[in-house]
Structure formats: C-alpha cells, structure tokens
Amino acid sequence: MRNFFAVLTFLGFLQASSAIADEGPLVIELFTSQGCSSCPPADAMMRDLAKRDDLIALSLHVDYWDYIGWKDVFGRPENTARQHAYARAANAMTVYTPQMVINGVDHVIGSRPMQVMNAIDANADRDNPVHVTLTRDGDKVQIGATTTVSGEYVVQLVRFTPEQTVAITRGENAGRSYSYANIVKSWDVIGRWNGAGGLSMSADAYGSDGLAVIIQRATNGPIVGAAQLR
C-alpha cells in the first residue's frame, strides 16, 4: 500500500517538475529485474517518465536475479556489467534493483518517488555541454553533435523496445503481468570524440526500435548530451 501511494505522489509531480534546459534531455537509466519483488513500482514510474520529451528513460534489465526462479526475458549480462561499472565509478560496494542513475551521475533507489524527483530536478539545473541532433534517413540515422567543451567522449547508440507486457509465472512476481517501457535491446559504443569541431556520423537504424544516442565521459561517467528517436 505504501508503494501505491508513493506512485500516486510521484505521478502528481510529473507535470509540475522543472523543464529541462534547451541543451538536451536528461537520461534516466533504471536497472531492474522481473525477478525482483521491489521493482514493479519503479517499472511503473518508468512508463510515465518515458512519455516525457525532456527525459530519455531507459530500462536496463539485469540477469543476477535469474537464479531465484524466473529468468528475466529482457535480462542482459551487458546491462549488469554497465551497472557494475557505475558502482565502481561511485566507489559503491554493491549493486541493487531497482536502481536509477540520473545523467550518469546521481544514483537513487528507483522505488522511492521523491528521491527520483529530487534527482531529476537537481539535474535539470545543469546544462548539458553537448548538443546532439538525430535525423532518420531510411535505414540510417544521421548523428550530429556540437560543443564548446573539449574532453574524451564516447558516442553510444541505444536500441530499445518502446513497450512490452510480460506474464510472469515463477519467482517473486509469479502470477502477475507487468508492462515495461523503453526496454534496452542493445547499447553499443559507435565512436569516440574529443569535442574538437562538430561530430558527424551515421549508424544503422533498421526496424521499428526506438533509438537514442548518448554521449558520455567514458562509459560510466557523466552524460554530456543525448537525443532520441521514437
């Protein structure tokens, strides 16, 4: 019941939250699992966050809860590795679900709506130094980026399924069906950039997957620019 009212409170704040700066949307990464009984409230929040134009909300299903009775059908060892990389960068001893990482910097418990909202609002006041543009051209996406801040950046292409519902038959969530938003299917480094001059490149954009491009300091540092196509 507490989680139910927490979600209602969070939803009440969705429209009232601060607008994100013109430099680009914030990236919200949720590390979650279908085998985790604490995760459904965070998954529900993600469905609402994913509707916002000022956020890129991505669900990364991990695989380390598979042993307790249900194999997450979206679980990827690459997602688990990304979460561990964030933990090392933050000098954290453990990883957990549900965890949200805001713009590669702030780590919060994903089932605590006020913590999530406070982290989003705090990051909304920070300008992304890199401006990213995406244009779909047939089976390709054209990627552009500009910045006045030099650095060592990685350019990452994320493919995601906008929404899918799963009936869970075993484990902690047995007998329930849940809908998930922006489920990450792949997360690939497609280039590196030092910020000098403008970035211009293309990548495959086949199929109906949602696409996001995320530019980040290393693969577990602050996110400096992002854009998406849905």
Digit-coded pLDDT (tens) for 151-201: 999 999 999 999 999 999 999 999 999 999 999 999 999 999 999 889 999
Query: Does 21 have pLDDT greater than 60?
Result: no
Per-residue pLDDT of 130-163, as tens digits, reads 999 999 988 999 999 999 888 999 999 999 999 9
Per-residue pLDDT of 30-46, as tens digits, reads 999 999 999 999 999 99
pLDDT at 6: 43
Nearest CA-CA partner of 50 in 143, 161, 185: 161
Question: Class of the 2-229 domain?
Answer: alpha beta
Q: Which residue has the higher pLDDT, 224 or 127?
A: 224
Q: Which residues make Cβ contacts (< 8 Å) with residue 21, sequence separation at least 6?
A: 124, 125, 126, 127, 128
48 — pLDDT class (breaks 50, 70, 90): very high
pTM of the model: 0.90
Q: Which residues make Cβ contacts (< 8 Å) with residue 58, sequence separation at least 6?
A: 27, 28, 29, 30, 158, 160, 182, 184, 212
In the chain, what are the domain boundaries?
A: 2-229
CA atoms within 13 A on the CB side of 48: 18
Please identify which residue in the block is written with the tokens 């702030």.
106
119 — pLDDT class (breaks 50, 70, 90): very high
Are 168 and 43 in contact by the 8 Å Cβ rule? The answer is no
